[in-house]
Each structure stands twice: as structure tokens, then as C-alpha cells.
Amino acid sequence: MKKRYTFEDLKEIMKELRQKCPWDKKQTHESLKRYLLEETYEVLDAIDRKDWEALKEELGDLLLQPVFHAKIAEENGKFNIDDVIDHLCRKLIERHPHVFGEEKADSAEEVLKNWEKRKLEKRNSVLEGVPKAMPALMRAEKLQKKASKVGFDWKEPSQVEEKVKEEWKEFWQALKEGKKKKIEHEFGDLLFALVNLARFIKIDPEQALQKANERFLKRFSYVEKKVKESGKKWEEFTLEELDKFWEEAKIRHKA
């Protein structure tokens, strides 16, 4: 084995795998989709844990995915990884004229504003470029931000608050009527309005929900621990007794 491998080595290894490994040979763009998502989430998890050794490993696993996809595309006569890198470099240079050209941008906000303006000039729709495969909360926020850039937006947080209240009433009314399709419709509108509110008060709705998930996990784990320590079965506890454990967990895990 070499002392240190390079990107060129990675390309050669991928070529060998596609020729000689039964599992790698049978993969397609479609079959690899799940791994691209999994590796992305593992990178995010390493960042959240501030585990830099794990991050190094997970970034490598994530890097494998575009190399793998590009190799499949190359075999089908579409493009190769060098084409991907060339396209990326050209795009970065084009979208950063304040670095590689004469344009000026004195703040990160200005950079983003100019970037979005250039992208918009090349697109047929303001909302173009928001993938359907995105997690729903992230996609809602992205759609709202794009619409906001052309002035289609609320002016004050109080207006969003009123919209949330309106959607809550409509959802509750649908719930009383008991029609599942309408309940789902109104619940979706309510979530969309809440994402709007999160955007206005500068909260990332995806992160907020993830943190709520983590709080639930910690607190429920404490409840589960107390149930096991008691020697009793879950069904032997009343909801009030379980809720007492939950309140204890909230005190122990305030973060």
C-alpha cells in the first residue's frame, strides 16, 4: 500500500471496483441514491458531535458517492469526474466575480444577493432549482426564501402570526369534520405557515425539529430507564405516573 493516496488513485480504485467487484458492478444511479443520503446524514452527525476524526472518515464516504456516480455516467458515455470538476470550477468562478472579476461585495449578504440574481437570470421560474427529494421542512423554507427574493412575502412577523392562527383554525375545523383528505391538506398548510414563522424569526425549522427529536429521545430514555428499574411492565403504569417521570427527565435534561 502507498504511504499516501491521491484523488487520481481514487479514480483508479473506482475503475477497478467497477470491473472486478460483484457488488460495485451491479450498482446504478438509482440504487446508490439511498447511500448518498445516508452518508450526508452521517457527515452532519459527525459535525454535530464535533468528532473531527469521524468527520474526516465520513467526508471520505460522502466523496465516494460523486466519484461512483461519475464512473457510472462515464461508462454510459455521458460524462466523467473530470467533467464534473471542470463544471464546478467554472461555476464557482462565474458566481464569484468579486473574487475572480471586477465586481465588489463587502459582506456575505451582498455575495448571496448577487449570486441569487445571477442564478435567477438563467432560470425560467423563480422557484426553479428546489429539489422534490429535499426533506419537506427544508423544501418549504427554500421555496419561501426564493419567493421572498422577488417581493412575494409578508412584511411583519405579526402578519405571519395571524396566518398561523388562521391555518390552525382551519385545521381544527377540518379535524372536527373528520375528512382525512381535508385534515391532511390543512395540516400541511399549518406546517407551511409555521415554517414561514420560523424563517421570520430566523430559526432553522429543520434544526429546531431535530433538536426537539433529541430532547424527546433523552427524556423518553429516562422514562424507559425508570420503568425498567421499577421491575413493572409499561401497562402497569398510569399515564400520570409516566408523566411524572417525564417531568423529572425535563429537569435533568434542560438543554
Nearest Cα to Cα of residue 33 among 73, 82, 66:
66
Kindly write down the DSSP assignment for every residue of 155-197, as one continuous string: SSHHHHHHHHHHHHHHHHHHHHHT-HHHHHHHHHHHHHHHHHH
User: Which pLDDT value is given to residue 255?
Assistant: 54
C-alpha cell at 254: 434542560
The pLDDT of residue 143 is 93
Q: Which amino acid is at 253?
A: H
Question: Cβ(98)–Cβ(114) under 8 Å?
Answer: yes
Place of cell 409499561: 234
pLDDT at residue 129, rounded to an integer: 83
Q: Using CA atoms, how far apart are residues 176 and 148, in angstroms rounded to an integer? A: 34
**Low-confidence residues of the chain: pLDDT under 50:** none
What pLDDT is attached to residue 120?
73
pTM for the model stands at 0.69
